[in-house]
């Protein structure tokens, strides 16, 4: 038991730690993008699909379902014709977006540094 371990109430490094399950969900590119997108307010299915370029309908559907199951996203159905479905953050989900969008914005701010590092690395050891 090191100091590193001590600061976690649960041992996130432990194999079957439940925190891992949550981290599994969060540590997903699409989930991060979706949560970040929902932070702006409720959005309909195909709207998300259009906004987040490159996500397939299947994966969007799956990811939304997982996020809903985790209690992070709510799904509201309106009896219009055709039917309208709105996805939104739950209160729990809203407690997460600050952290998640911090991650997205870190990526944005430090993208150049990362790309530079990659170039340097690739030059040092060419394929």
Partner DNA sequence: CAGGATCCTACGCGATACTG
Partner DNA sequence: CAGTATCGCGTAGGATCCTG
Residue 58 contacts DNA per CB under 7 A:
yes
Q: How far is the CB of 86 from DNA (least distance, A)?
A: 7
Closer to DNA at the Cβ: 8 or 75? 75
| Contacts by 99-103, CB closer than 8 A, 24 or more apart | 100/26, 100/32, 100/35, 100/36, 100/39, 101/35, 101/36, 101/39, 103/32
Residue 64 contacts DNA per CB under 7 A:
yes
* Longest CA pairwise span in the chain (Å): 60
Q: Binds 76, which of DNA, its own copies, none (CB < 5 to 8 A, cut-off by type)?
A: none
Site for DNA, rule CB under 7 A: 44-47, 54-59, 61-62, 64-65, 75, 82-87
């Amino acid at each position: 038991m090191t100091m590193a371990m001590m600061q976690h109430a649960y041992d996130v490094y432990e194999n079957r730690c439940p925190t891992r399950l949550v981290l599994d969900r969060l540590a997903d590119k699409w989930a991060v993008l979706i949560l970040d997108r929902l932070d702006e307010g409720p959005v309909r299915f195909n709207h998300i699909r259009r906004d987040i370029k490159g996500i397939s309908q299947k994966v969007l559907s799956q990811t939304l379902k997982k996020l809903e199951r985790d209690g992070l996203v709510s799904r509201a159905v309106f009896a219009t014709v055709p039917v309208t479905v709105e996805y939104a953050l739950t209160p729990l989900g809203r407690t997460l977006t600050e952290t998640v969008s911090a991650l997205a914005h870190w990526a944005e701010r430090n993208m150049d540094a990362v790309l530079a590092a990659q170039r340097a690395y690739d030059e040092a050891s060419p394929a």
